Amino acid sequence: MGDSPTGPANAITDVPGVRVGHVTVWRGDEGSGDPVLRTGVTAIWPHDGDPFMERVYAAVSPFNGYGVLTGDLVVDEWGLLGSPIVLCNTANLGAAVDGTIRAMTAANPAVGRDDVCIPVVGECDDGYLNDNRAFGVTAADVALALSSAHDGAVSEGAVGAGTGMQLFDWKGGIGTASRMVNVGGRDYTIGILVNANFGARRQFRLGGRPLGRMLSSDMPVRHREGSCIGVLATDLPLHPSQLRRLARRMDIGLGLTGSVGNDGSGEVFLAFSTAQRVPRDAGDGHLTIEVAVEGQFWTRGSPFDDIFGAVVEASEEAVLNALCTADTVEGRQGHRLVGFPVAEALALL
Catalytic residues: 227, 265, 267
- CA–CA separation, 258 and 236 (whole Å): 29
- Phi-psi bin for 267: left (phi > 0), alpha (psi -120 to 50), beta? beta
How far, in Å, are 195, 242, 258, 312 from residue 254 at the CA level?
12, 20, 7, 8
Output DSSP code: residue 48.
Answer: S
- CA–CA separation, 219 and 128 (whole Å): 13
Please list the residues that pair with 178 across neighbouring strands. 191
- CA–CA separation, 55 and 49 (whole Å): 10
- Give the number of residues written for the chain: 349
- CA–CA separation, 35 and 213 (whole Å): 35
**Which stretches of the chain are DSSP H helices?**
72-78, 93-107, 139-147, 240-257, 304-325, 342-348
How is 84-116 classified by DSSP, letter by letter? -EEEEEGGGHHHHHHHHHHHHHHH-TTBTTTB-
3 state SS of 252: helix
How far, in Å, are 57, 120, 232, 267, 270 from residue 61 at the CA level?
14, 14, 11, 9, 6
How far, in Å, are 22, 100, 130, 177, 317 from residue 274 at the CA level?
21, 21, 35, 17, 22
